[in-house]
Structure 1
């Protein structure tokens, strides 16, 4: 595998770029250069660690970034390159749900149920109308830093995003739900995403409420995240354009 420098295939800028993010950049560059054809098995974590001169844990975290972007898939046979000619700009910097940490063990499930009254109002759902509800929980290895997030999707999101619609029939709350690319799926469906995150201290926790609308101001999802931390309140907004 030929080495590719981070400047050749930059990922979205991070104030303090983690080592695993740099390795994801380099590995993506090598995939794009055709060093590993689409569908071919990637070298094992041990080989990649030696290749990039980092730990296996760093490689594991870098692969997680690429999986979330849909550029790498993993099955019983190992990890495989998925998309030909992909550029580094396709790697998303925004994870779903808000608060998800790729470096920490997490558990995510989906149910088809009536959301909370607050979520129903935000999404414009009729009373007692069920929708797709996603639950996420994670914590550090020592059990600290617990994060719990509950997301309710609107009828618009379920109707117009095929990948979300497919979860309706298997939303039993038991199976693991892989919705890491939910925002990418929305953009692929032609939706421009406008996010508004409100962060409020509720000692000893912090509550983050994310509201996502499309270019027609239709609500797509609302997430409530509770984190074991203490920070000052902050509200910020940004927009992700539709794909293509």
Structure 2
């Protein structure tokens, strides 16, 4: 953020300084300088950026919170404007493979508090034979030609940092429907930068492929592992991504 000073933007007659700062900050949220869902800089940084006191920044944030444009939790404040973050691909939803399912697809999803699949526990830092939050997903195309099965295990770090995920523990009995399509957005709102690494392997002797996604944060801490097996009945597996324009 480039530093500004109070002299750059003269006060309108009778306009409180904090209201002008709120207007400027809202403008930066709208133009994508601070993308929706991203954490805002701290009060000290905002005060330096706008050339005002921290108390003025605090009043400006309170005004935006009152209007529902900024939300604050124990990890700080973030933009709460409607719409996806400008850099978020339209098909990057959770779980892997679900966001780009064909129209008419039948799908089921649920969560369970259970021992993760072999190989997941060690990679995620889950103690042997200890349960964690595991998400199960299944879908099939309307014509029955394509099916997808995905199993996701979340790490202790993800459950500790992301309140929306941790709240599933008490109701993760595997029987109820689970709506975790915004899981990655929840992680980002918790201040985690996400690095995805997808590995695609063809299963010998079958028409299926396995896609393994590993996600870690900016501190290289593992967050989740998803294993997707898809029977596409075709030679090419296509993942399509659309990145919305910044408006």
Residues 127 and 187 of structure 1, relative CA distance in 2, 3 Å threshold: same
Q: Summarize deviations over 1:141-178 as a string: whole Å, max 9, x none.
A: 12220100000000000111010011000001011000
Q: What does the per-residue CA deviation read over 1:80-110, in whole Å, with 9 as the maximum and x for residues that have no partner?
A: xxx7554672764211111104532211000
Deviation string 1:95-153 (CA, Å, 9 cap, x unpaired) is: 11111045322110000001123111211211011100000000111222010000000
Structure 1 distance, partners of 2:237, 2:140, is 22
- Describe the shift of the 1:173–1:87 C-alpha distance in structure 2 as closer, same or farther (beyond 3 A): closer
| Residue pair 1:131, 1:152 contacting (<8 A) in 2 also | yes
Deviation digits for residues 169-213 of structure 1 (CA, Å, limit 9, x no counterpart): 000101100000000000000000000000111131010000000
Q: Which residue of 1 aligns with 2:119?
A: 118
Count of matched residue pairs: 153
Aligned residue for 2:181, secondary structure, equals coil
> What residue number does 1:20 align with?
none
Q: Which residue pairs with 1:213 in the alignment? A: 216
Aligned partner of 1:131 in structure 2 is 132
1:106 aligns with 2:121: no
Q: Please, what TM-score do these two structures have when normalized by structure 1?
A: 0.58
2:178 alignment counterpart: 177
Structure 2, unaligned runs of 5 or more: 1-29, 31-79, 239-247
Q: Which runs of 5+ in 1 are unaligned?
A: 1-31, 33-82, 235-244
Preserved CA contact (<8 Å) 1:200 1:233: no
Q: 1:89 is matched with which residue?
A: 86
**Contact 1:201/1:233 (8 A) holds in 2:** no
TM alignment of 1:1-244, pairs within 5 A: 86=83, 89=86, 92-93=89-90, 94-100=92-98, 101-102=100-101, 103=103, 104-202=105-203, 203-229=206-232, 230-231=234-235
Provide TM-score, normalisation by structure 2.
0.57
Cα pair distance change 1:125/1:165, threshold 3 Å: same
The structure having more radius of gyration, on CA atoms, is 2
- 1:85–1:134 distance in 2 versus 1, CA, 3 Å: closer
- 1:24-67 CA-to-partner distances (Å, cap 9, x unmatched) read xxxxxxxx9xxxxxxxxxxxxxxxxxxxxxxxxxxxxxxxxxxx
Q: Say which SS state the counterpart of residue 176 (structure 2) adopts.
A: coil
